[in-house]
Amino acid sequence: MLSRRSFITSLSSFALVPAVSAQEASLFYNGDGAAASGFDVVSYYGVSGPVPGRSDIALMWKGTLWRFASEDNRDRFERNPRAFAPQFGGYCAYAMRQGRLKSTDPRAWQIVDGRLYLIHSQQIEKIWKKNVSKNIRDAEDHWPAALYQ
């Protein structure tokens, strides 16, 4: 039988364990089972724009599968993943300004100051572009806390 002292000690140690929500989201949005819905994030920085990655040219980073259109793009990402990974984990940058996690359309995007922002849809992208700087500032206020709500 637990003594009162043991019970109180166990309760106080339980309070030190951080709570993890059952609804905790993945660090990166992974529609279609891969980051950026399977699109090659390095390709966003090229002349042709985004292209789908190939399942046979992929790697794991931060617990997420990343696909690439070429081995060269995979190698570039592997050397410096933070330079290519989308902001806000690839969740919709526009929704993040309100602290919401929303899926993205890999064809709705913008690069600002060398950073990739993915958007929920091409329609929302038009709204996003009306005040990009403010939207980014507001979204930064909610990231990464939005993952744990």
44 belongs to a structural domain:
yes
pLDDT of residue 28: 94
User: Of 64, 84, 104, which residue constitutes the final position of a domain?
Assistant: 84
Distance, in Å, from the CA atom of 25 to the CA atom of 123, rounded to the nearest integer, reads: 25
Alpha carbon separation from 117 to 14, 58, 63, 141 (Å, rounded) = 39, 21, 20, 15
8 belongs to a structural domain:
no
53 and 93 fall within a common domain: no
90 and 72 fall within a common domain: no
72 and 62 fall within a common domain: yes
Q: Which domain holds residue 123?
A: 86-149
Percent of the chain with pLDDT over 90: 81
67 and 106 fall within a common domain: no
User: What is the mean predicted confidence (pLDDT) over 83-95?
Assistant: 98
69 and 112 fall within a common domain: no
Average pLDDT of the chain, as a whole number: 88
pLDDT digits 0-9 by tens, 108-123: 999 999 999 999 999 9
pLDDT of residue 95: 98
On whether the pTM is more than 0.85, the answer is no
59 and 36 fall within a common domain: yes
18 belongs to a structural domain:
no
User: What is the mean predicted confidence (pLDDT) over 119-140?
Assistant: 98
78 and 95 fall within a common domain: no
pLDDT digits 0-9 by tens, 37-68: 999 999 999 999 999 999 999 999 999 999 99
98 and 126 fall within a common domain: yes
Reply yes or no on whether the pLDDT at 22 is more than 60: no
- How many domains would you assign to the chain? 2
Q: Compute the CA torsion angle 58, 59, 62, 63 (nearest 10 deg).
A: 80
